[in-house]
Structure 1
Amino acid sequence: MIKKILIANRGEIACRVIRTAKKMGIKTVAVYSDADANALHVRQADEAIHIGASPSSQSYLDIEKIIAAVKQSNADAVHPGYGFLSENPAFADRLEQEGIILIGPPANAMRAMGDKITSKKLAAGAGVSTVPGHMGLIVDADHAVKIAREIGYPVMIKASAGGGGKGMRIAWNDEEAREGFQASKNEAKSAFGDDRIFIEKFVSEPRHIEIQIMGDKHGDIIYLNERECSIQRRNQKVIEEAPSPFLDEKTRKAMGEQAVALARAVNYHSAGTVEFIVDGKRNFYFLEMNTRLQVEHPITEMITGLDLVELMIRIADGEALPLSQNDVKRNGWALECRLYAEDPYRNFLPSTGRLTRYNPPVATDDNNEVKIRNDGGVYEGGEISIYYDPMISKLVTWGKNRQMAIQAMQEALDSFELEGIGNNLPFLSAVMRQKRFQEGKLTTAYIAEEFPDGFHGVSPTPDEARSFAAIAAFINFKLQERAAMISGTLDNHRRIVKNEWVVSIFDQSFPLVIEVDHAGAKLEFADGEQISLESHWLPGMTICQFSVSDRSNMVVKVDVKGTSIRLRHGGIDAIAHVREPNIAALAALMPKKLPPDTSKMLLCPMPGVITAIFVKKGDEVEVGQPLAIVEAMKMENMLRSEKKSKIGEISVKVGQSLGVDETIMEFE
């Protein structure tokens, strides 16, 4: 049996592999860069070896340094996780040459599936459904109609030299095929000087659904159901679930069998995923095969009861699969939300810095109704670096059905305390609340369609606004009560705290009267509406459950700063001020503080490093002209001029690290 595993990765996946290895009694070796010297995976492993500088090219992607670390630690095997070297056939070859076990698939499978053209040819040869199309050139409109009929409408008419949407038309019938051919041809000639046209199937209402497969070295391969990964942003998965709310048993079986057929075609073993695009009529087409463990593997584990990392280790050690296809279970429903260090209010730009608070919801695995799991690789006080992927953790919930899993996720997101950096928690909460998501009407365009102008938070309903006002009034009363008790003005439990208050929240004022008892409070608003509130919140608590009339079990994050009370729940983020009526009347007369004028400044939109500056003082610049590049978390962000202007002072140099809103340059 394998006795020691070196994990050629970092972050949450390294911690994930360590967890299973410990369960199996296997020693683990972590590798780390300069930036990860104090990382969680380094703390959790039995041994840790430094492999280089912070940039991944000088550490986690350096094959020779990984090999040297394996030899230094006398590890038997390497688990590459995902990303970095996990699908690198050259790395697999080097391990084989050195007699080191790779906990992953063979190099030939990586090569075959890593090339898009080769993989599609192999898929077609293995009987896997691929996107129909005619890659030859279309001669004229009649030819376009003929090919379109053969493929089946709708079709996508594309310019061979196309890009940016130019020379592209969708045709749903013969007439549109004729018109689209000529329009695409004319547009392509004008835009690219090349009017060659081809046609392929247009996949309407596209969903991204993938099949998890697992194979051993004895020729047995099974599929472990599917995962729905349609909710994506910039082709980056954000929310996944298993099973898919869209597939029926017939389609699921067909997709699974085709995934297994493809794996057999390349003599595959270990964990792998075959990805498909599925249209609104459940027609499915091969996209690609990922020859590694997927980020979203926990939801498959939750519905099957299997430990995929353990299976990978046992298969690498030569063991046969312990189950057949008929043994694969599908129990309940699981959701995964990816928590990213990115600011949803700033177009999801990366965020770096220190986690001043990191308190995930308590994991549960013994509840028959719901389960919670958080796969993380960080800790409170730890640093989120600019060098690597922005993922903080993966929050997973399981329920007996989809509705229960969603409800569990809503409560888990509300209970997740994450402070110090921008993060997408409020965005994830917002999606969970949406009717379209709850109905399972998902496509790969979901985020673009539901948030066309970006994410700006969740606006409360009138009832929610009143509930938040009631919670703020209750918290304020408890704070006032404590202050009175400290000052000695409470006598024999007789309150002298006033009962009449005005809550300012959501640009509204809520005059009310509050009566507090041991279980909560009763509130009456100026319009006569009465609300009962139950809670055991006490000063100092940062998170608590509130039951407001019929809105039971609202998990609310509470942050008291001075005279303001910040409340967060379900993607709603509000600042409340609770004042006595006479003070509230005066506050209403106060002018609002205007934000500073930054129109003549170029500010850094995210924490990052200036990698290029294209202008100098005195230059005249036009609208859209490149000014500088900021790089963070493997993302290069070009900053351009928004208006015609003249460059004034430049405050930074190439190579300088900046925080959010630091000045890069000024305009005259």
Structure 2
Amino acid sequence: MIKKILIANRGEIACRVIKTAKKMGIATVAVYSDADRDALHVKMADEAVHIGPPPANQSYIVVDKILDAIRSSGADAVHPGYGFLSERADFAEALAKEGVAFIGPPPKAIEAMGDKITSKKIAAEAGVSTVPGYMGLIADADEAVTIAAEIGYPVMIKASAGGGGKGMRIAWNETETREGFQSSKNEAASSFGDDRIFIEKFVTQPRHIEIQVLADSHGNAIYLGERECSIQRRNQKVIEEAPSPFLDADTRKAMGEQAVALAQAVGYASAGTVEFIVDGDRNFYFLEMNTRLQVEHPVTELITGVDLVEEMIRVAAGEPLRMRQEDVRLNGWAIESRLYAEDPYRSFLPSIGRLTRYRPPAEGTAADGTVVRNDTGVFEGGEISMFYDPMIAKLCTWGVDRAAAISAMGAALDRFEVEGIGHNLPFLSAVMEHPRFRSGAITTAFIAEEYPDGFAGVELDADNLKRLVAIAAACNLLSEIRATEISGAMANHRRVVGSNWVIGAAGQEFPVSVTREGDDYRVADAEGQAHLVRLNGWKPGAPLIEAEVEGTALAVKLERTIQGYRMRMRGADVMLTCLTPRQAEAARLMPEKVPADTSKMLLCPMPGLIVSIAVEEGQTVEAGQTLATVEAMKMENVLKAERKGVVKTIAAKAGDSLAVDELIMEFE
């Protein structure tokens, strides 16, 4: 058996591998860049080796540095995680020359399946259904336009060596093909060191469903059901679930058998994923095979009980699979929400900084039988760097059926506390509550169709808004009473806390009368309707409250403001004011503050690197014209003019690192 594993990766996947290795009694070695010196995976491993500066192309994807770390640590196996070197055949070959086991498939399988052009040809030969497209190399944008016209719009422009949404663009016309071709090449070169591009037909109304396969070096191969990954943004998966709410048993079997046939056709050994696009009639087409552990593997583990990392390690050690196809059972339902360091209120732009608060929900099995699992690579006080993927954590829930798993996820997201950076927790909560998602009628266009103008938060229904008002009234009374007790004012009869308050929320005023009844609070509205509120031990200053309003349990994140509270729940972010009737009367007379006019400025929408400036001072630009390109967290973002105008000044140049809202250029 393997004795010491070096994890050639970072973040949550490195931590994930370390957990299973420790369970198996195998020693672990972490590698780290300057930016990751204090990272969680470094702390968790038995030992750690420094490999260079923060940029991945100077550290994590430099094969010689990883080999040096292997030699110095004496590791006899390497797990590559996902991304970085996980699908590099030359890395697997280099390990073989060193006599070190690669915890992944053979180099030939990586080479065949890692190249998306070659993989589609092999898939077709193996009898796997494939998407129409052009699998040859494309020289330039002109050729890309010609090919796209022949296939027929819309088309998908993809990096041959790509994955994780990097180097992918959908083009609906010639202009988008030209722009997408160059951006895809740039991202592919930056992320994978390989800028080859291919084009295929984009299937409309598609669902992204993938099959998990597991194979050994003795010719055995099985599939472990499917995962649906249709909730995507910019081709990056956001929410995954297993099984799919769309597949029937016959389609699942057909897809699984084709996935196994493909794995066997290339002599595959290890865990791998065969991705398909499925249309509304359950016709499925091969997209690609990921010759590595997928980000979303936990949902498969939760419904099958199989530790995929452990199986990968055993296969790498030469062991045969410990199960046959007939042994595979799909039990219950699992959902994964990817928590990203990106601001959903600012078009999901990346966010960096310090995690001033990071408190995930408790893991384990709840009283109702649901399960919570959180795979993460960060900790409170840690930094989210601009150099790597913006993922913070993968929150997973399991339930006996889809409804139970969704409800458990909604509750877990409400209890997940993250402060200090922008993050997509509100958006994830909103999706869990969305009627279309709950119905299972989803496609890869779900986010674009349901949030065409971006995410602006959730507007609570009247009942939940009234519950927050009642909680705010109770919290306010408790805080006021506590303040007087601490100051001694109540004891000296200098101040009495009144029972009448005006709670402001969502542009409305709610006059209430609130009284304390033991550990509970009775909040009556203007019509005399009373709500019994239980704060369950909450103390002023605590950022999370597990409250009950008339028996309805609510987990609410809250923070004190000057005049009340900011409360967040189920994707909603509500500012509530708690004023006396006299204060409320005066507040109505206060003028509203007008924000500064930035309509003539192009501000950097995220912390990032200026890749290029496409205009000059004095130049007239048209609406939709490219102004600049910014790179952040391995993704290129093209900034375009919103209207016609003349460039007055340019304050930044290519190569500059800018903070969010820093000036790039100004218009006359």
Distance across 2 between alignment mates of 1:398 and 1:101: 34
* Offset at residue 650 of structure 1 (A): 4.2
Give the TM-score normalised by structure 2: 0.88
In the other structure, the counterpart of 1:179 is none
Q: Please, which of 161, 166, 175 is the counterpart of residue 147 of structure 2?
A: 161
Counterpart in the other structure of 1:510: 510
Match of 1:479? 479
CA RMSD for the aligned pairs? 2.7
Aligned partners of 2:153 and 2:201 also within 8 Å: no
Structure with larger Rg: 1
The code of the aligned residue for 2:512 comes to L
Is the Cα–Cα contact under 8 Å of residues 152 and 201 in structure 2 kept in the other structure?
Answer: no
**Superposed counterparts of 1:577-596, under 5 Å:** 577-596=577-596
Query: Which residue in 2 is equivalent to 1:322?
Result: 322
Partners of 1:623 and 1:209 in 2: how far apart? 38
The AA in structure 2 aligned to 1:32 is Y
Give runs of aligned pairs for residues 337-486 of structure 1, distance below 5 A: 337-365=337-365, 369-486=369-486
Q: Which amino acid aligns with 2:518?
A: H
Is the 2:101–2:316 Cα contact (8 Å) retained in structure 1?
yes
User: Whole-Å Cα distance in 1 between the matches of residues 353 and 228 of structure 2?
Assistant: 32
Cα distance change on mapping 1:294 and 1:367 into 2, 3 Å: farther
Distance 1:40 1:279 in 2: 41
Q: Which amino acid aligns with 1:5?
A: I
Q: Which residue of 2 aligns with 1:151?
A: none
Who is 1:540 aligned against? 541
Q: Does 1:609 align with 2:595?
A: no
2:244 aligns with 244
* Cα distance between partner residues in 1 of 2:580 and 2:449: 44
CA contact (8 A) 1:159 1:168 kept: no
Q: Partner of 2:40 in structure 1? A: 40
Deviates further, 587-596 or 657-666: 657-666
- The question of whether the paired residues in 1 share the 8 Å contact of 2:151 and 2:201 is answered with no
1:271–1:382 distance in 2 versus 1, CA, 3 Å:
same
Distance in 1, matches of 2:592 and 2:282, equals 54
Aligned to 2:169: none
User: 1:491: how far off?
Assistant: 4.3
Question: Which letter does structure 2 place at the counterpart of 1:519?
Answer: D
CA 1:577 to 1:8, structure 2 compared with 1: closer, same or farther past 3 Å?
same
Q: CA deviation at 1:614?
A: 4.5
| In structure 1, C-alpha distance between the alignment counterparts of 2:340 and 2:379, rounded to whole Å | 14
Structure-2 change in CA distance of 1:367 and 1:498 (3 Å): closer
* CA distance 1:493–1:373, change in 2 (3 Å): farther
**For the Cα contact (< 8 Å) 2:558–2:566, is it kept in 1?**
yes
- 1:223 corresponds to: 223
- Residues 186-229 of structure 1 show CA distances to partners (whole Å, capped at 9, x for unaligned) of x999x99xxxxxx9998553211111011111111111111111
The aligned counterpart of 1:637 is 637
Q: Which residue of 1 aligns with 2:17?
A: 17
Give 1:558's aligned amino acid.
L
| Structure 2 counterparts to residues 122-201 of structure 1, below 5 A | 122-131=122-131, 161-162=147-148
Q: CA deviation at 1:257?
A: 1.3
Gaps of 5+ in 1: 137-157, 170-186, 193-198
Distance 1:624 1:200 in 2: 26
Give identity over the alignment, percent: 60
Equivalent AA in structure 2 for residue 63 of structure 1: V
Separation (CA, whole Å) in 2 of partners of 1:283 and 1:368: 37
Cα distance in 2 for partners of 1:524, 1:366 equals: 34
Q: Which digits, 9 at most, give the CA deviation of each residue in 1:568-622, with x for residues without a partner?
A: 0000101111100011011011111010111232222111223334455555545
Residue type of the partner of 2:113? Answer: M
Q: 1:650 to 1:379 in 2, by over 3 A?
A: same
Q: Indicate the residue corresponding to 1:181 in structure 2.
A: none
Contact 2:154 2:201 in 1 (8 A): no
Match of 2:190 in 1: none
Question: Bigger shift: 11-20 or 530-539?
Answer: 530-539
Note the C-alpha offset of 1:48.
1.0
Tell me, which stretches of 5 or more residues in structure 2 are unaligned? 137-143, 156-172, 179-198
- Helix, strand or coil at the partner of 1:161: helix
8 Å contact kept, 1:481–1:495:
no
Match of 2:253 in 1: 253
Distance 2:203 2:598 in 1: 45
Which amino acid in 2 is paired with 1:634? K
Query: Which whole-Å deviations, capped at 9, do the CAs of 1:310-341 have from their partners, x for residues lacking one?
Result: 11001101111111111112111110000011
Question: Do residues 519 (structure 1) and 519 (structure 2) align?
Answer: yes
> Do 1:204 and 1:280's aligned partners in 2 also have CA atoms closer than 8 Å?
no
Between the aligned partners of 2:36 and 2:200, the Cα distance in structure 1 is 46
Q: How much does 1:374 deviate?
A: 0.5
Shift of 1:630: 2.4
**Alpha carbons of structure 1 residues 278 and 466: separation in structure 2 relative to 1, 3 Å:** same
Offset of 1:428 from its aligned partner?
Answer: 0.3
C-alpha distance 355-201 of structure 1, shift in aligned 2 (>3 A): closer
The 5 A counterparts of 1:88-99 are 88-99=88-99
Superposition deviation, residue 267 in structure 1: 0.8
Distance in 1, Cα, partners of 2:26 & 2:654: 46
C-alpha distance after superposition, 1:619-641 (max 9, x if no partner): 55454444433221012223334
TM-score normalized by the length of structure 1:
0.88
1:360, 1:597 → 2: CA distance? 38
Structure 1 Cα separation of the partners of residues 368 and 222 of structure 2: 27
Asked if 2 retains the 8 angstrom alpha-carbon contact of 1:504 and 1:510, the reply is yes
Deviation of residue 430 (structure 1)?
A: 0.2
The Cα of 1:557 is off from its aligned counterpart by 0.2
Most deviating of 636-645 and 53-62: 636-645
Bigger mean CA deviation after superposition, 358-367 or 369-378: 358-367
Q: Secondary structure at the match of 1:162?
A: helix
